[in-house]
Structure 1
Amino acid sequence: MSAVVASFFVDSGLTLSLVCAVLGLGFAFFLIRTILSSSAGNDRMKQIAAAIEEGAKAYLGRQVRSIAMIAVVLVILLAIFKDLPTAVGFLLGAVCSLTAGFIGMRIAVMANVRTAQGATESRKKALQAAFNGGAVTGLLVVGLALLSVGIFWLVMNKINPGKALSSLVGVALGASLISVFARLGGGIYTKAADVGADLVGKVESNLDEDDPRNPATIADNVGDNVGDCAGMAADVFETYAVSLIGAVLVGALTVGMGAPVIYPFVLGGLAIIASIIGIVYVNMTTAKPAAALMRGVLLSAVVSAVAFWPVTQSMFGEGLHVRDVMSGLEMSYSALGIYLAAIVGLVMTGAAVLITNYYTSTEYQPVRKIAEASITGHATNIIAGLAVGQQATALPVLCIGASIWLSYHFAGLYGIAVAVMAMLAMAGIIISLDAFGPITDNAGGIAVMSGLPKEVRAITDELDAVGNTMKAVTKGYAIASAGLAAIVLFGSYFVDLKHHLIEVRHIAETDLNTMLEFSLKDPKVIIGLFIGGLLPYLFSAFSMNAVGRAAGAVVTEVRRQLAARPGILKGEDTPEYGACVDIVTKAALREMIIPALLPVLVVVLVAAIPALGMVVLGGVLVGSIVTGLFMGISMTSSGGAWDNAKKYIEEGHHGGKGSEAHKASVTGDTVGDPYKDTSGPAINPMIKVVNIVAILIIPILF
């Protein structure tokens, strides 16, 4: 009987996972209908929401046209220098990533005005509107990712089995490269508008958040959608797709076809059902917002852990026999070991959420210490925020190290791939938390600009503070998962390179030990580590400077409008909102190109220079993972902590709004904006682009 069950899962597991993906999409559309059936408020609220939507659609439309020109060139190059299936895979990954981003933005715009209206009735209604809007994004992202990779794998195995595995790398590259553009472009847009609005509106003109007299306020609200919603949706789509593809590559190259290839798909499908259960719980519970969201994640993780065991036992009842990538020895792993590797991924998800929550929530000491440091001025606020971010790297990195060690112990490199997939399988519920943040932020803006009572803004402010923590939490989750996924991709690079040298160049396996010895005694490896370690710093410098230049242009425009038309501050004249929207749109599209293409160019140059080659490139991959992981965690944690320290003071602590401490906290928040919403999150897809391009060019340059 067990053999029959195992055969069923191997033969039908992929189909079952696709059915689960469709169920997830179906539930997402049910939530959309639920959101649309609720009231969108009065005419003024609808007008403001329409202006935000118009700005977001205009930006994304121009972004798609800009990216499309680059994508077309890359598709042609891949078709010429690689093969047509890989080019088609690249196109599929790119289109699905863009679609996920656009859907994320559209749903957020639907939900933000309904969250504001819900806040006029109760906190629970506002919470449900915001969370369900985020849940739609989460379910659509994981559903689309699982469907696109699964269907592409099925189709390619039917029409060209020999190219099915290698062409999956094209899907990963398309998703990752578009994610970098979406993250960078959206991040530059949202933070340029936010910084510009804060510097003139709050600091110089003493205006409240989202005051309609601020000419940059509509651009700021548009930015929440194109950065935190569209950008994050594209980011997690590619992280999920790349992790799934990485697990398939490792399973196929180190073990073989069958259960090791199908198992990651099954994990993804089961976790979608678990996410739906968690989403239903959040809608039904009467707990406080933060507790409700965290318990929803915990419930989904527990349901996933329970569901994973019988499937793992059925598919790997006779164990897993594999030749270890690094040692070359024959190894055997039990079904229990593979299951425990999946549990490691689930536990790592919880650890990433809890640790980031501790460093960025107003409930704990790190944020409160930054708020206290604001009493003595701007410089001490900045120093405290930087220290919190750097300290926040310790626990996540120790947990990532423990996860790598444990999952490798349980099932080798395949165990790490399983842990990563189990971690990313939770994205359906985790991304619900992320999109919750910008939706509540926009809801607060709509409440202020439409003149709703202060009681309503109190509810949206409370949800916004929770949402800000949730955004930081999900960024910590995304970066931690990227660190694990990158290890899997580096293993895939090593395995694929070894396979290519044996099968294509006909090099004896005994000779490969010298050629592919990534030893610290080899100067080439050290050179590669330095180059790879430099990449995240250079990448971040480009993106930070981009935000600074664009924000400066917004500041100049806001000052011009306020000086030329004094009636704006008196409420007698209407600002030219469109001027600021146009400035940040053009700046974001212009500034995103060079940093987005930087990792591609560096990898190709290193591989193409004969004096460097495959060993140096291996060092580049590891170097980029290490410094990128530290920078990503540090920047997102600092930014989230700075933002919530400002909110903590605005609640009435240390003098409240208008105090010197508040002014210092605004400075910290302004510095933290590009940290947490532009440079830090964009490092995540950048790391994976480096690794995927390296895998892709193996047959071309080696």
Structure 2
Amino acid sequence: MNNIPLVFWLIPVASIVALGMAWYFFRTMMKEEEGTDRMKEIAAHVRKGAMAYLKQQYKVVGIVFIVLAIIFSFMAYVLEVQNPWVPFAFLTGGLFSGLSGFFGMKTATYASARTANGARTGLDKGLKTAFRSGAVMGLVVVGLGLLDIAIWFLVLNAVYADEKTALITITTTMLTFGMGASTQALFARVGGGIYTKAADVGADLVGKVEANIPEDDPRNPATIADNVGDNVGDVAGMGADLYESYCGSILSTAALGATAFAMNGDMQLKAVIAPMIIAAIGIFLSLIGIFLVRTKEGASMKDLLHSLGLGTNVSAVLIAIATFFILYLLGIENWLGLSFSVISGLAAGVIIGQATEYYTSQSYKPTQKIAEASQTGPATVIIKGIGTGMISTMVPVVTISVAIMLSYLCANGFDMSLSAKSLSTGLYGIGIAAVGMLSTLGITLATDAYGPIADNAGGNAEMSGLGEAVRERTDALDALGNTTAATGKGFAIGSAALTALALLASYIEEIKIAMVRAFEGGKQYVDAAGNIFDPTNASTIDFINFFQVNLINPRVLVGAFLGAMAAFLFCGLTMGAVGRAAESMVQEVRRQFREIKGILEGKATPDYGRCVEISTRSAQREMIIPSLLAIVIPIVVGLVLGVAGVLGLLTGGLAAGFTLAVFMSNSGGAWDNAKKMIEEGHFGGKGSENHKSTIVGDTVGDPFKDTSGPSLNILIKLMSMVSIVMAGLTIAFL
């Protein structure tokens, strides 16, 4: 058994501290007053609807997980093309991912009314309540993620104690629990996104445009479903999503470290635990940032953004400094270069966040120009929003490209030779850059989860009739939440790109393990020149050459086209799903306005439950095909086009999926905040024709930013995870 260094125990300790602080923030929030009886009643409706939906979703996902676990068990114990631990790792990954979303959503549904009630006292009180409730989500994700990693590492380290390649086997096996997390995350994101946008679009089109009543007006039958949707999509879905990113980056980096330093046992162990230690220290530094977030009464949007920015930026600077000490004290080879790899990841995260803020916040010209375009109707609003989203892809793509090159070169001493050693250490640098970007996820995710809590607080304030002053404060918190949510989505997409690239390299290692297993069982491999290929001591470059992974190989090109197509197909299916679900919601809201006399006069109570039921049923039905496609496509490509085709698929999916996700997320965020800007009194204010034009733009943007866009970052990682898990099957058909 590998001797576990004393510093390793910092990892489970940090995870327990994170979970303990999450519990502390939750209990503190629960001690706050929930407000008036009406506020409590509305919060109870939302809480009940959210929990009912999640229960139904977990039933569907549970069936999928059981079927997949049986398939993996068959592959492991009958076909023997899979590690026997894979079915169990897959299930735990899904379980912990689901728990992250569940705990975050449970907190959010209790926090919204308390945030609205806090806003009755002042802006700072409302901000602190919402933000620290959002911090519960952030801390639960990092706490459960690190706990799962630490437990699996200890278990597998004991099982594979005597193997020569123990750490490579351990880390590649641990990678497979990422597929469980990815699968759960995709169902949560897609299902939650369809749910929330069906309700949101229905509420906006009929309520605000046709009936000319305010957002979150209690006369609108879809308002409760809309508020439920914010929780199931933007909290539960997002928590499961970023749990998977966080674990995927750590595990893929650990696997790359095991390969890069395979010839040096002591250094290999240090390279494996280094990303885990960086993530553990990041938890403590995130807590410092969380306690720094506060604001003043009457704060402007820039003041509020500065308040949140202070916490996240301080945490980022502290982890950048701490990384040098961590890697130096570990005694890892080229610790200085690897530290700069981490900083390149951190810097990329900050730059992408700032760029997203610029293109989506109403404080800056791009969103202001969209609001201005409303003077010529909804068509120009849509054109301007699409153009803005397309332009906004430049900075994130260039930033990620620079981060990839810098992290690669810093890790291998600026060696461009593509030798086996240079390539493996460079790829480890890219992986550890992804860990750097996600190391302060505890606070970064808190700023993201804050958004839907603030949105629900605004809805509660409106439906409870708390008055204009309170509504102004909740509107300010909500507008801030739109920007932080867009920033969080940009951050999640950026981290997904780096993680997916690291997983791409891990796929080659998994292919090597499968080939060595088959080679030792008597199977022979012949290369293009007709020579016997021995995979036992082959390098990554040897495998690339053996499978002819180059741009004149039609398998690679076809795979790349299929990967790019998969991103667009996935978006088309999820957008269509939202459209169909929204049509049902629009018809239902119109029916209630028509048939239930006295709704618009406030004399009759709408049937909120019927709208909740429509969203729930639509989400459950519509989420299955897009989610299963993400699993099926890599398997089929692997069986038909082989390893070269899969590498093309993952590359094409990564390039197209990353760019498309940034475009959709930023367009949607800009449309939403253009609408908010007009609601603050610009260009005619609420109820004007300009306002209706921006509502149409926001309606188009809703599935862009909350369904299709954020689901893409899971798609590109899930395709990589499926390919890794199915590597043995792909090789069996070679």
Q: TM-score range by the shorter chain?
A: over 0.9
CA contact (8 A) 2:506 2:724 kept: yes
Cα distance in 1, alignment partners of residues 110 and 304 from structure 2: 21
CA contact (8 A) 2:359 2:367 kept: yes
Match of 1:416 in 2: 430
Residues 1:682 and 2:711 are matched in the alignment: yes
TM-superposed CA distance for 1:496, in Å, is: 2.7
CA contact (8 A) 1:86 1:169 kept: no
Residues 1:618 and 2:647 are matched in the alignment: yes
Cα distance in 2, alignment partners of residues 165 and 276 from structure 1: 29
Cα distance in 1, alignment partners of residues 518 and 431 from structure 2: 26
User: What one-letter code is carried by the residue in structure 2 that aligns with 1:316?
Assistant: G
User: What one-letter code is carried by the residue in structure 2 that aligns with 1:247?
Assistant: T
Instruction: Give me the TM-score of the superposition, normalised by structure 1.
Output: 0.95
Which deviates further from its counterpart, 427-436 or 165-174?
165-174
Cα distance in 2, alignment partners of residues 103 and 391 from structure 1: 37
Match of 2:288 in 1: 277
Match of 1:258 in 2: 269
Cα distance in 1, alignment partners of residues 544 and 286 from structure 2: 45
CA contact (8 A) 1:55 1:219 kept: yes
Match of 1:640 in 2: 669
Cα distance in 2, alignment partners of residues 513 and 390 from structure 1: 34
TM-superposed CA distance for 1:283, in Å, is: 4.3
Query: What does residue range 71-82 of structure 1 map to in structure 2 within 5 Å?
Result: 71-81=65-75, 82=82
Query: What does residue range 591-606 of structure 1 map to in structure 2 within 5 Å?
Result: 591-606=622-637
CA contact (8 A) 1:250 1:413 kept: yes
TM-superposed CA distance for 1:43, in Å, is: 1.0
CA contact (8 A) 2:295 2:304 kept: no
CA contact (8 A) 2:14 2:280 kept: yes
User: What one-letter code is carried by the residue in structure 2 that aligns with 1:259?
Assistant: K
Match of 1:316 in 2: 331
Query: What does residue range 63-102 of structure 1 map to in structure 2 within 5 Å?
Result: 63-81=57-75, 82-102=82-102
CA contact (8 A) 2:186 2:627 kept: yes
Residues 1:657 and 2:663 are matched in the alignment: no
Secondary structure (helix, strand or coil) at the match of 1:541 reads helix
Which deviates further from its counterpart, 465-474 or 142-151?
142-151
Query: What does residue range 122-271 of structure 1 map to in structure 2 within 5 Å?
Result: 122-161=122-161, 164-256=170-262, 257-271=268-282
User: Deviation string for 1:481-531 (max 9, x for gaps)?
Assistant: 101111101111123324443453363257745423321111111111101
Which deviates further from its counterpart, 244-253 or 264-273?
244-253
Match of 2:366 in 1: 366
Match of 1:517 in 2: 548
User: What one-letter code is carried by the residue in structure 2 that aligns with 1:61?
Assistant: K
Cα distance in 2, alignment partners of residues 700 and 570 from structure 1: 64
| Residue from 503, 508, 523 that aligns with 2:534 | 508
Cα distance in 1, alignment partners of residues 196 and 405 from structure 2: 38
User: What one-letter code is carried by the residue in structure 2 that aligns with 1:116?
Assistant: A
User: What one-letter code is carried by the residue in structure 2 that aligns with 1:566?
Assistant: K
Cα distance in 1, alignment partners of residues 349 and 442 from structure 2: 13
Query: What does residue range 279-678 of structure 1 map to in structure 2 within 5 Å?
Result: 279-283=290-294, 288-316=303-331, 319=333, 334-411=334-411, 412-502=426-516, 504-505=518-519, 507-508=533-534, 512=543, 514-609=545-640, 612-678=641-707
CA contact (8 A) 1:100 1:141 kept: yes
Where does structure 1 lack aligned partners over 5 or more consecutive residues? Answer: 1-6, 320-333
CA contact (8 A) 1:378 1:664 kept: yes
CA contact (8 A) 1:85 1:167 kept: yes
Match of 2:56 in 1: 62
CA contact (8 A) 1:392 1:634 kept: yes
CA contact (8 A) 2:233 2:706 kept: yes
Cα distance in 1, alignment partners of residues 619 and 90 from structure 2: 24
Cα distance in 1, alignment partners of residues 489 and 74 from structure 2: 37
Residues 1:43 and 2:37 are matched in the alignment: yes
Match of 2:422 in 1: none
Which deviates further from its counterpart, 689-698 or 575-584?
689-698
Instruction: Give me the TM-score of the superposition, normalised by structure 2.
Output: 0.91
Secondary structure (helix, strand or coil) at the match of 1:292 reads helix
User: Deviation string for 1:100-140 (max 9, x for gaps)?
Assistant: 11111101011111100001110010001000110111111
CA contact (8 A) 1:149 1:171 kept: no
Match of 2:418 in 1: none
User: What one-letter code is carried by the residue in structure 2 that aligns with 1:222?
Assistant: V
Cα distance in 1, alignment partners of residues 38 and 292 from structure 2: 33
User: What one-letter code is carried by the residue in structure 2 that aligns with 1:688?
Assistant: K
Match of 1:327 in 2: none
Cα distance in 2, alignment partners of residues 473 and 596 from structure 1: 25
User: Deviation string for 1:44-80 (max 9, x for gaps)?
Assistant: 1111100000000000000000100010011111111
CA contact (8 A) 1:642 1:665 kept: yes
User: Deviation string for 1:653-695 (max 9, x for gaps)?
Assistant: 1111111111110000000000000000000111011011111
Secondary structure (helix, strand or coil) at the match of 1:568 reads coil
Which deviates further from its counterpart, 273-282 or 78-87?
78-87
Cα distance in 1, alignment partners of residues 409 and 543 from structure 2: 25
TM-superposed CA distance for 1:285, in Å, is: 8.0
Q: How many correspondences in the alignment?
A: 678
Cα distance in 2, alignment partners of residues 513 and 679 from structure 1: 33
Cα distance in 2, alignment partners of residues 243 and 514 from structure 1: 27
RMSD between aligned residues: 1.5
CA contact (8 A) 1:285 1:292 kept: no
Cα distance in 2, alignment partners of residues 117 and 687 from structure 1: 41
Where does structure 2 lack aligned partners over 5 or more consecutive residues? Answer: 76-81, 263-267, 412-425, 525-532
Secondary structure (helix, strand or coil) at the match of 1:566 reads coil
Cα distance in 2, alignment partners of residues 124 and 138 from structure 1: 20
Secondary structure (helix, strand or coil) at the match of 1:258 reads helix
User: What one-letter code is carried by the residue in structure 2 that aligns with 1:452?
Assistant: L
TM-superposed CA distance for 1:351, in Å, is: 0.8
User: What one-letter code is carried by the residue in structure 1 that aligns with 2:510?
Assistant: D
Secondary structure (helix, strand or coil) at the match of 2:667 reads helix
Match of 1:329 in 2: none
User: What one-letter code is carried by the residue in structure 2 that aligns with 1:69?
Assistant: I
Cα distance in 2, alignment partners of residues 154 and 79 from structure 1: 22
CA contact (8 A) 1:337 1:410 kept: yes
CA contact (8 A) 1:490 1:691 kept: yes
CA contact (8 A) 1:88 1:170 kept: no
User: What one-letter code is carried by the residue in structure 2 that aligns with 1:633?
Assistant: V
User: What one-letter code is carried by the residue in structure 1 that aligns with 2:179?
Assistant: L
Residues 1:694 and 2:723 are matched in the alignment: yes
User: Deviation string for 1:457-495 (max 9, x for gaps)?
Assistant: 000000100000000000000001101111101111123
Secondary structure (helix, strand or coil) at the match of 1:573 reads coil
CA contact (8 A) 2:508 2:543 kept: no
Secondary structure (helix, strand or coil) at the match of 2:675 reads helix
| Residue from 7, 13, 16 that aligns with 2:7 | 13
Cα distance in 1, alignment partners of residues 450 and 626 from structure 2: 28
TM-superposed CA distance for 1:224, in Å, is: 0.4
Cα distance in 2, alignment partners of residues 512 and 468 from structure 1: 46
Cα distance in 2, alignment partners of residues 542 and 447 from structure 1: 35
Which deviates further from its counterpart, 682-691 or 160-169?
160-169
Taking structure 1 as reference, are residues 369 and 284 closer, same or farther at Cα in structure 2, changes over 3 Å only? closer
User: What one-letter code is carried by the residue in structure 2 that aligns with 1:518?
Assistant: V
